A = this chain, B = another copy of it.
Amino acid sequence: MKLTEFIAASPEACHRPGPGDRIVMSSRVRLARNLTGSPFPTWAKKKERVKALETIRPAVESLDALKDSFSANLDDLSSLDKQLLVERHLISREHAAKSAGSGVVFNREESVCFMINEEDHLRMQVLLPGLQVEEAWKQVDKLDTALEKKLDYAFSDEFGYLTACPTNLGTAIRVSAMLHLPGLVLSEQINKIVNSVNKLGLAVRGLYGEGTEALGNVFQVSNQMTLGESETDIVARLGKVLGQIIEHEENARLTLLEGKANTVYNHIGRAYGILTNAHIIASKEAMNLLSLLRLGVDFQMFSSLDRAVIDELFLFTQPAHLQTQHEGKLGAEERDVLRATMLRDRLKSVKRPHLPKLG
Contacts and interface: CB of A to CB of B under 8 A. Distances in A.
Interface of A: 262-263, 265-266, 269-270, 272-280, 337, 340, 352-353
A263 B277 contact: no
Contact of A263 (B270, B272, B280, B353): B280
A262 B269 CA distance: 23
The count of identical subunits is 2
A280 B261 CA distance: 11
20 contacts: A262-B279, A262-B280, A262-B337, A265-B279, A266-B279, A266-B340, A269-B277, A269-B278, A270-B273, A270-B277, A270-B278, A272-B273, A272-B277, A273-B273, A273-B275, A273-B276, A273-B277, A273-B278, A274-B274, A277-B353
Main secondary structure of the interface of A (DSSP, over half): helix
A353 to B, nearest CB: 8
A270 B343 CA distance: 13
Contacts of A273: 270, 272-278
A279 B274 contact: no
A47 B274 CA distance: 58
Contacts of A270: 273-274, 277-278
A178 B52 CA distance: 74
Given A266-B280, A272-B277, A273-B275, 15 more contacts: A262-B279, A262-B280, A262-B337, A263-B279, A266-B279, A266-B340, A269-B277, A269-B278, A270-B278, A272-B273, A273-B276, A273-B277, A274-B274, A276-B352, A277-B353
Contacts of A274: 270, 273-274
Contacts of A279: 262-263, 265-266, 269
A263 B279 CA distance: 7
Which of A266, A269, A277, A280 has most B Cβ within 10 Å?
A277
Nearest to A269: B277
